[in-house]
Chains A and B, each alone.
Chain A
Amino acid sequence: MPPVGIWIDGLIQSCIYMTMAFGMVLVFSILGILNWAHGQFYMLGAFVVYYAVTAAGIPFPISILLTGLLIAGLGIMVKKFVIDRVQGVLYVGVATISLIFFFEGAANMIFGMEDRGLSMVLSGVLDLGSFSVSYQKMAVLVFTLVVMIAMYIVLNRTKVGLAIRAAAQEPTAASLYGISVERLSLIVMGIGCALAAMAGSIMAPIYPINPFMGGIPMIMSLLAIVIGGIGSLTGAIVGGLILGFLNSVIAYYLSYFSEVVLFLLVIVILLVRPQGLFGAALK
């Protein structure tokens, strides 16, 4: 049995993959496309919060909210000026893949290559006897809980949430009753990118910040979506949860070899259930 710390690290990773995968699936359910640059919104979120705290001196929690708002705006612009200008799922895919390099390159030019850190934020640990948890990690946990509860309320208790679920299931019928799928696309793109950015900013005190930090969380959340079943929000959450723990626990035993095992496991899961755990059962 790995020590408690490994499980806690697993849980923290789960939190991030869940939040990112959730946003990706939300966008997918309305736009019908995967945003391959999702991880770069995560990276930008970390940088924005870094400068908000260090340069502008804005308190960390408020910085996270501001980061979410700012990157939501960026996401909406990407939808309007890139995704809408390209025709066809394949070409939109290529366009968002090229955005990966655009955002990484731009971050590299503006912020530079070297690692930055925000480790002074929320320093200290909570001592729980036989083990301890840093406040930074607890913040990730609290953040994820708040995000998930908020998303649950938005989707199930508000008019816009009803519209999102209806449009995801039957877009034509939804538009017959006055739901504008076009406007919803902008809203979910904003929410999805804001979630990724806020995930990046809540992780900023824990992991080094650099222009290429978005790659791994992106691949992991993509795997989470595939395991959970593309299009299923529940699947994204469960897939993210599984993947975070797997990643952390396997790495404890196998170090760098862990990714090989992880991908093999995913392949096995897909051989047994090609539609993913919650697959086909749409959204």
Chain B
Amino acid sequence: MIWDNILIYFVVIPVLMLAGLAISKSMAQIRTICVIGASALLALAAYVTIAYLGERATGNTAAMLFTGSWMWFEPLNIHLALGVDGISVVMLILSSVIVFAGIFASWKIDPLPKEYFMWFCLLSTGVFGFFISIDMFTMFMFYEVALIPMYLLIGVWGSGNKNYSAMKLTLMLMGGSAFLMLGILGIYYHSSIDGNFTMNILEISQNNAIPQDWQMYLFPMTFVGFGVLGAMFPFHTWSPDGHASAPTAVSMLHAGVLMKLGGYGCFRIAIYLMPYAATELAWIFLILTGISVVYGAFSACVQTDLKYINAYSSVSHCGLVLFAILMLNTTAMTGAVMQMLSHGLMTALFFALIGMIYGRTHTRDIRQLGGLMQIMPFLSVCYVIAGLASLGLPGLSGFVAEMTIFVGSFEHTDMFHRVFTIVACCSIVITAVYILRVVGKILFGAVQDEHHRTLTDAQWHERLSTITLIVCVAAIGCFPSFFSEIIRNSFLTIIKVLPL
């Protein structure tokens, strides 16, 4: 029975929330539904993690756990196939935490709260569905489900040049998914030798039937398709505009989780299914992602809009994710997933704080802000913590992820990998430059605008949202082994199987 599978509830809960929101009448009801739903997701993610670890402890070494498969469309052999390994479990936790924090960050959304939260839930459905699927078609479907609400969320509730941004973001990501669709179809038609084509990732991987010359075409298509979402240079320009216009919680969810879909997909479909092409073509994408890392950081140095700074910072940090995945070894890939987790949390924190600051001062221009530490100490301290996490302070999550990536990348002894690793390492300095520039400018110093003196500090729901994220960031930073080992063990088994 489908309902026996625990994973399906990651999709069921948001759908139920959606239904509940559709019939809700008041703000109080909307909030109650959202909070209950988000908490349930959080609890479910925690439960799945514990159950996952329990299964592994009993010696279950299957590639995916909690698997289930239900025929959906017979002629094309499409299933609703579910299953998780360590990597997806971590992503599920990340998504549920950010959805939870995002709900509280958009506590007082105006106008049309009901519609806003409905789209928000639909977006969450897509995100969770993506991470639990192991069938390419359902994965793609959930991916699209996550993308479309973005258009409306930005277009309706956004700010600034929102129509342009929403259109740009949607078109660019759709362009990416066009490539992706082609790639997926290509994989499907080469998924087995005897004509029993399948969409199931595990089966494709086992069959290992994609001819090498086809891999060389299909790998770039899928990698670029997901890479667009992962803000890979030169397909990253949707990110600054999109983030700048998006409402707070949407930025949080987008940068925090949606961009991780890119990295996750790059691994799960492009590299996992086409290891030969991955080893052959990695260098091209290493160059592109290596550029992303440094380029994003340098661009962030001269931006004046807080959200632009963060968007470019995300380009840099997400570039590091893809960079590490392409290193194709356990340590670096573990680092990549840690970086997804870490970047997801801290960038969500950043966007939440920027949203809160913007909601008060009505400007995100750093030239018009200053001395906020005296006015809103709580938000400012949180901002400093987010900044320190971003520049990789030990004890917060960024450090662990970056160090794992660098140590892993350094395992390659050839000059090419070495040089690019060192180039990527340089980003830690540039990151410090732009983070401290912003912190120094907007939080410290004299109060820039006397009108700001009357502003208030964070309210309880804002505090709850930021504290949740900070606790997660600090917990990962202080006790990294918990997640790192889950991820590492998964990669150890995967890498053994893949002919990398």
Say if A and B assemble together: no
